[in-house]
Amino acid sequence: MEAGNRSGLSGVINGLNEGDVLILCHSSHAGTETDFLRVLVQVGSKCAHFVSIDEDFDTLRDTTLHFAEASS
């Protein structure tokens, strides 16, 4: 991934607010697997949600399902 794209993604992440959702079509758009995990942690630290369409990864959906199951 080019440095400009990475800094652009960092800028988007820095601008996230609680409840916002960052959507990537594929995890590789975040860079390496380590970059993907870093993005996931950064988004979570903003109390925002992360969706990666190709991987069917959705923190908002998964968190909602977890709390629904826990309250049953």
Alpha-carbon distance of 69 to 56, in angstroms, equals 20
Contacts of 30 (CB under 8 A, 6+ apart): 1, 9, 24, 36, 38, 39
Over residues 67-72, mean pLDDT: 80
5-59: per-residue pLDDT in tens? 667 889 999 999 999 999 999 888 888 989 988 998 999 999 999 998 888 888 7
Q: Per-residue pLDDT for 62 more than 60?
A: yes
